[in-house]
Amino acid sequence: MSDAQVQFINVIKSFGDRTILKGISFEAKQGEILFILGTSGTGKSVLLKNLVGLLRPDTGEIWVDGEEVSQISEEKYFDIRKKCGMVFQHPALFDSLTVFENVAFGVRKHYDYPEEKIKEIVKKCLKLVHLDDVEEKLPQDISYGMQKRVSLARTVAISPKILLFDEPTTGLDPVTTNAVNQLILDLSKTLKTTSLVVSHDMHCALAIADRIIVLDKGNIVDQGTPAELKASKHPLVKEFLMEATTHA
Amino acid sequence: MLNKMVGIIDDIGGVTLFMKEVFRTGIKTPCTFSEIMDQTWKVTIQSLSTTAMAGFFVGAIMTVQFTLQVSQFGALGYLGGLATSGTIREVGPLLIAFMLSGKVGAFTSAELGTMRVTEQIDAIKCLGANPIQEIILPRFVGIILSSFFLLTIGLFMSIWGGLLMGIVFSGISIEEYVRHIPNIVSPVSIVTGLFKCFVFAFVLASICTYKGYNATGGAKGVGKAVVDTAVFTMIGIVIADWVTSAIGESVMELFLK
C-alpha cells in the first residue's frame, strides 16, 4: 500500500456476461482532485459505487485510507462510508424531509450530537454551498440546481475525508455548472478532502483537476495532469479536448 | 413460457430472501414506534373512505344474496347473523386486502421504486443508515397493522349496509336483523377473519415492498414494479385465501375446541 488515500488494484466488475471494469488500477493522493472522464456506459459510476460498497468487485483490491474494503461486511462499511461522502448524479434528496432534515440525516446517523450542534453544522454546510433561508423548504419547492447544492451540503455535513461526485453537473445550465465546479474546488481546498469526480466534461476537468483519468470500455486509456492530457495522442482524449475547446 | 416460469420462481426466491433480511433487521435493529405509527396512520387514512364505502355495499350485497336463500325456508331471522358471519370470515378480509392492494400496494411500490431509481436508497446507505430499517420496516408493519383497523371499519360499515338492506329489501326489523348475530358470529369466525386479514396483509406488504425496493430502469422500471405488484398481490391473496380456508380453519378449530 502506497501513501494514496484511495487505491484500486486490478479491479474487475461484471454484470452477467458483460464486464464493465476490466482490471482498473489507479490511486488518488490525499487532497488531490482526480477527474475520471469517459463516455456514457464506460463504467465511471460503477467505479465509484464499488468504492462506497454499493457494488462489490468480482476480483481486485480497493484500499480506502489504508484499509482494504472490497470484501468487508456491510456492517464494517458503516465506518468507510463515514470517510467517503458521495454526491449522486440525481440530487437524491428525501422528498418527505425538509432541506434541514435532509442535511441533518447523515449527521444524526453517524454522530451522537445534541440538537444545537446539529443545527450549527447544517447552517454551516448550507452556507458553504451558498444557500440561505431554505432549511424549512421541501426539496420539490427549490430549483434543481439548489437541490444539487443541498445534496452537496448533505454529503459534506458528515465531514468525509474523501468526496465522490457522480456527474455533478449533468442536467445543469452553464452558469450553475460553473458554480458547482467552483464549489467542488472550494470545498476540496477548504475542507482538505480528496475528491474523485466522475464526469464527461473535459472543460471542467482541465479547469479544476489535479489529475485526470480517461476511461474507455472498462479500461484506463490515458491519465496525467491536465497539461499532460493536453498533449495526449489518444483519439478519445483528443476528441474530448476538441469538445472542450468548442465549449470554452 | 419457460422464461416466465423461471421468472416466477426467481421472484418467489427473491421475496423469501428479502423477507429474511426484513426480519433480521427487525430483530437486530428495529425501527421506532413513532415511525410505525406514522405509516399505520398514513395507510389507514389513505384507504379509509374506500374501505368504508366498499364495506357498506358488501354488507348490502350479502344481505340481498342471503335473503333470496333463507326466505325460502322462512328463516329471515337468521339473515343478520349469516350476512355478518360471511363478511367477517371471508368477504371482509378479502375486500380489505384488495382495497389495500389497489391503493396502498401500488402507492408503496411506486414510492419505493422512485426512491430506488432516483438513488435515494443508495443515498440512505451512503449516509450511514440501513434502508431496510429506515423505509421498509415501518411500511411493512404499518400495512399489516392498518389492515386490522380497516377490517374493523369495513365490518362495522358492512353491518350497517346489511341492516339497511334488511329493512328496505327484506322487510325485517332492526331487532330481528341483529338478534342472531351473537349466536352465529362465533369467536372462531372472528379469529378466522383476523387471521386471514393478517395473512393477506403480510402477502401484500411483502410483495409491494420487495417489488418497489428492487425496481430498476427509470420510469419504465417503476411502472413495471407497480404492475407486477398489482398482479402478484391479487394472485398471492387468492392463493393465500385458498390455503387459509383449506388448512387454517381446520387447524384453528382444532385448537379452539
Contact A33, A51 (CB under 8 A): no
pLDDT at A244 over 80: no
Contact B201, B105 (CB under 8 A): no
Q: Whole-number mean pLDDT of chain B?
A: 89
Q: How far is A71 from chain B (nearest CA, A)?
A: 17
What residue in B sits closest to A79 (Cα-Cα)? B128
Q: For the residues A211-232, what does the mean pLDDT come to?
A: 90
What is d(CA A16, CA B255) in angstroms, rounded to the nearest whole number? Answer: 50
pLDDT (0 to 100) of residue B209: 96
Contact B113, B11 (CB under 8 A): no
What is d(CA B196, CA B249) in angstroms, rounded to the nearest whole number? Answer: 10
Q: Which three cell numbers stand for residue B130?
A: 440501513
B173 close contact with A: CB closer than 8 A:
no
Query: Exposure of B187 by Cβ count < 10 A (0-12 exposed, 13-18 middle, 19+ buried)?
Result: exposed
Q: How far is A226 from chain B (nearest CA, A)?
A: 30
Contact A213, A34 (CB under 8 A): yes
pLDDT digits (tens, 9 = 90+) for B71-125: 888 888 888 888 888 888 888 888 878 888 888 899 999 999 999 999 999 999 9
HSE on the CB side for A93, CA within 13 Å? 29
Asked if A54 lies within 8 A of B129 by C-beta distance, the reply is no
Three-class secondary structure of residue B171 per DSSP: coil
Burial code (b: 16+ CB inside 10 Å, e: under 16) for A202-230 equals bbbbbbbbbbbbbbbebebbbbeebeebe
pLDDT at A1 over 60: no
- Select from B236, B229, B232 the least CA-distant residue to B113: B229
Confidence category of residue B148, pLDDT binned at 50, 70, 90: confident
Q: What residue spans define the domains of chain A?
A: 6-247
pLDDT at A2 over 70: no
Confidence category of residue B256, pLDDT binned at 50, 70, 90: low
Strand partners, A213: A36, A223
ipTM of the complex: 0.86
Q: For the residues A217-236, what does the mean pLDDT come to?
A: 89
Identify all chain B residues contacting A82, using CB atoms and an 8 Å cutoff: 128
Taking the C-alpha atoms of A178, A184, A190 and A194 in order, what is their torsion angle to the nearest 10 degrees? -150
Three-class secondary structure of residue B95 per DSSP: helix
Fold classified for A6-247: Rossmann fold (3.40.50)
Give residue A67's identity as a one-letter amino acid code.
Answer: E
A54, A90, A105 member nearest B127 (Cβ): A105
Contact A108, B152 (CB under 8 A): no
Asked if A88 lies within 8 A of B127 by C-beta distance, the reply is no
pLDDT (0 to 100) of residue B189: 82
pLDDT digits (tens, 9 = 90+) for A11-38: 999 998 899 999 999 999 988 999 999 8
B28 close contact with A: CB closer than 8 A:
no
pLDDT at A220 over 60: yes
Confidence category of residue A168, pLDDT binned at 50, 70, 90: confident
